[in-house]
Structure 1
Amino acid sequence: MLQAIFYARFHPERGPSVIHQYPPNTIKSSDPVSNPPLINWSEVSSYIIAPYELCNSPLCICNNGHRILGYPISLEHEYYDRNRFTFNICLVLDEDEDAKPWERIVEKIAKFCVALEWEGCVLQHEEDQPGLKLAGKEGGAVEDTVHKGRVYMLLERIFEDLNHYGETCIRVDNVKGEDGLYVLNLRLETEKDFAKRAPERVRSWDVPLLVRNLPDPGEWTWDLTLQRIYGFIDGIKHVKKIAELADVEIKLVRRAVKELVYHGRAVLLDVFHFQAIYACTAEVADFFQNEELQDECRKYIAVHVESDTQKQQDSHKTETNSLEKNALPSREHIIALYADLQPGLQLQEFCLTHKTQLTNIDIRRLVTFGLLKGFLRRIHKYAFSSSHPLHLPQRSLSPVLSRRSVGTMQKSFRSGNTATTRSGDEAVREFERAWRKAALTSGWATPPSGPHPSSFSKSQRSADQLRSQEDERLRSFLDGEHCLDAICVEMGLSEKKVLERLRGFGRSGDVVLFNK
């Protein structure tokens, strides 16, 4: 955590001086006895304002149990006193804190201030402001709410945003009054727990749920994909559905969602449906003993319905408030509900069995809370077929036969043999793939599924042909590695319809369903 930030420069008369500091009295204190500073300025001042040979390079000093990170800058120009202007904006951390994530921050701040100084002499004009005094003095910048100065407000914003959000976006207008805007974007790139848990890839059937608010688009530049998909991220729609509704290529949606998960803005859930099976993990014991977490759960899962008493006279307000308070489920109630979630019990059966106990409880939130806190897990259903190509014995053909077969097929294709000539149905599929690929890569709206009449013959696919193609695609998922959620999302079918198809395969393919 950032303890302090300050701006110091070499003054031609006073030597190394602290101009601004935030929070107040952290570097130079007006009362060192009652409010001692974090560091001893007299011991480190000669390093903060380093010799010219050591400027324009990173700096790290430890003093009084704190670590000072800086990037001293020395600018040469005849405009300055002694033809040189040397300054440093430093960050103060605890000595045992990892300084690596902050090194890029302090370097970027220094280079941003160089741009401000070259373009508008911001640092020089800062001290010319009437009523502005040095940090640590009575009536100084930190105590004067009217004449704070640009640099002081810059330091204040950096300190507050990085400590609270780990990132900031600061815009500074051109000092000379000309058209122009300087933007400083900072992000503390620390590998937090949510970054370590981020998946390597986002799947089509993953459901993103925002757990932290995103910065205001007016203050933070949003990715173009994020602008399109943000309104569809609600913890209900899966990635493929979001891509379809936002009319964005699915690989771009996956990339944007992965960024949100990596930076702790979102988490990934499974598709919620009442055929799903959930069970408690070993962490449920901690939940049963944590009353604070139980109270959080009670507020999260309760359904707040406006009662008629809220619309009546003021004399009934006390009664209404007591009813709302009692509407929250008790701790024992939610513990009993979670304990009854057992492997092999579908959610719809659980809801029917506990119909009375689930009154005024949002079942979706009940499940989501357990998944987010880690004491509930989803048990997926998988399909396995012994006739899947991966599970069939491999038969190698004779080299002579293989070459002869390949040559025959190539000859037939070149000669226009009717057995290998593309049918109208194949032309339809090829046209659709090419047309949609061109639309997605060029930014057009996704074209309709119907191709141009001139691209194929008059033959149309029958219902049996469509069914056969879907069955072939469905068989490709029966390797025991694809869960039923993945199959349903990729096929665009409900779980009920997928199971009906699989029962038809059972007569010839020996399809087995299992949970894990």
Structure 2
Amino acid sequence: IDYLITNIFSPFKYKCTSTINISKATAMGKKLIGCPVCIEHKKYSRNALLFNLGLVCDAQTNTCALEPIVKKLSGYLTTLELESGFISNEDSKQKLLPIMSTLLEELNATGACTLPIDASNTIHLKLIELRKDPPIVQEYDVPVFTQCKDHFIKSQWDLTTQQILPYIDGFRHIQKISAEADVELNLVRIAVQNLLYYDVVTLVSIYQVQNQTRTVTLYLRMWCYHL
């Protein structure tokens, strides 16, 4: 993210809706991701307050991960305005620049930001890593943990996943896990696909597992014979 802006490209009322929508523009090698907001009330000049918050980044940047940030931040500002007139009040409006500067710095540095605005409002933002859709899980695929099984906190997963985790050992295939865990096959496939998405497990073919087992067994037999 190169810049975070609030007043360079202003929203027109016809572009604003009751829902928070993303608008985009590209100029001078930069991509602008905005979120026009219109709050209608008779207390405002022309009976409406229009504002637009946006991020500026390189034109080639994939902005899918940034769009939720813009939406959420615009939602925060809308709430602050409705509760306390944060944007329309000149005194509180002066806080916007340091707030935006801190947000930009922390998002670029760590991909996340927690910033108190006042006694009752705190902004929480986090860039979500884009991941590819995991492959379809088949009945005879064997899930294998990518790291030590003990490193994963069981309670952070849904109940179905918690139920099947003890049966994922690198040898049982999906159908066998379903039978032994007493969980419907399709639910097991969905749960394992979710684990794949977060790189908790990977899949190997049951034939690969069987071949490895046969190789180890044959090696042990030969070793015992030579003894």
> What is the TM-score normalised by the length of structure 1?
0.32
1:6 aligns with 2:4: yes
How far has the Cα of 1:352 moved from its partner? Answer: 6.2
CA contact under 8 A between 1:71 and 1:106: conserved in structure 2? no
Partner in structure 2 of residue 51 of structure 1:
12
Letter in 2 for 1:94: D
Q: Is it true that 1:74 corresponds to 2:35 in the alignment?
A: no
- Correspondence list, 1:368-387, <5 A: none
CA distance in 2: counterparts of 1:119 and 1:244, whole angstroms: 54
Counterparts in 2 of 1:219-368, with a 5 A limit?
222-244=157-179, 246-271=181-206, 276-277=211-212, 346-350=215-219
Asked if the contact 1:112–1:184 (Cα under 8 Å) also holds between the matched residues in 2, the reply is no
- Matched letter for residue 138 of structure 2: V
Change (3 A) 1:183 1:6: closer
Aligned with 1:226: secondary structure? helix
- The CA distance in 1 between the partners of 2:29 and 2:153, in whole Å, is 34
Q: Which runs of 5+ in 1 are unaligned?
A: 9-15, 17-44, 163-167, 279-344, 356-516
- Within the candidate set 41, 54, 63, 1:90 is matched to 54
Distance apart, 1:256 and its partner CA = 1.2
SS of match in other structure, 1:90: strand
Residues 204 and 110 (structure 1 numbering): CA distance in 2 closer, same or farther, change over 3 Å?
Answer: same
Contact 1:208-1:267 at 8 Å conserved across structures:
yes
Counterpart of 1:52 in structure 2: which amino acid?
A: K
**CA displacement at 1:203 relative to structure 2:** 1.4
1:255 deviation in Å? 1.0
Checking the alignment, whether the CA contact within 8 Å between 1:6 and 1:90 is kept in structure 2 is: yes
Give the aligned partner of residue 493 of structure 1: none
2:29 match: 65
Aligned residues: 219
Q: How does 1:78-227 map to 2 (within 5 A)?
A: 78-80=42-44, 83-99=47-63, 101-102=64-65, 105=68, 108-109=71-72, 112-113=75-76, 116-117=79-80, 120-121=83-84, 123-124=86-87, 133=95, 135=97, 140-141=98-99, 152=103, 156=106, 160-161=110-111, 187=128, 192=132, 195=133, 198-210=134-146, 222-227=157-162
2:76–2:123 Cα contact (<8 Å) kept:
no
Asked if the contact 2:141/2:173 (under 8 Å) is kept, the reply is yes
Counterpart CA distance in 2 for 1:216 and 1:128 is 48
CA distance in 2, matches of 1:231, 1:256: 13
Change (3 A) 1:187 1:72: same
Q: Is the radius of gyration larger for structure 1 or structure 2?
A: 1
Structure 1 residues 260 and 5: CA distance shift in structure 2, 3 A = farther
CA distance in 2, matches of 1:252, 1:72: 41
Task: Measure the CA separation in 2 of the matches of 1:216 and 1:209.
Answer: 13
* SS of structure 1 residue aligned to 2:61: coil
Give the aligned residue type for 1:109.
K
8 Å contact from structure 1 (residues 208, 238) kept in 2 = no
User: Deviations 1:316-374 (Å, cap 9, x if unpaired)?
Assistant: xxxxxxxxxxxxxxxxxxxxxxxxxxxxx82333466689xxxxxxxxxxxxxxxxxxx
Tell me the distance in 2 between the aligned counterparts of 1:247 and 1:79. 61
Q: Distance in 1 between matches of 2:177 and 2:223?
A: 33
Deviations 1:429-465 (A, max 9, x none): xxxxxxxxxxxxxxxxxxxxxxxxxxxxxxxxxxxxx
Q: Which amino acid aligns with 1:251?
A: N
Q: What's the TM-score once normalised by structure 2's chain length?
A: 0.62
Greater strand percent: which structure? 2
Higher relative contact order (CA 8 A, sep 6+): 2
Offset at 1:268?
Answer: 0.7
Counterpart contact for 1:4–1:159, Cα < 8 Å: no
Percent sequence identity is 23
- CA pair 113-76 structure 1, distance change in 2 beyond 3 A: same
- Aligned-pair CA distance for 1:96: 1.9
In 1: Cα distance, 2:160 partner to 2:35 partner:
36
The answer (yes or no) to whether the contact 2:3–2:57 under 8 Å persists in 1 is no
- Whether the 8 Å contact between 2:5 and 2:56 is mirrored in structure 1 is no
What is the root-mean-square deviation in Å for CA atoms of aligned residues?
5.1
Q: Which amino acid aligns with 1:207?
A: P
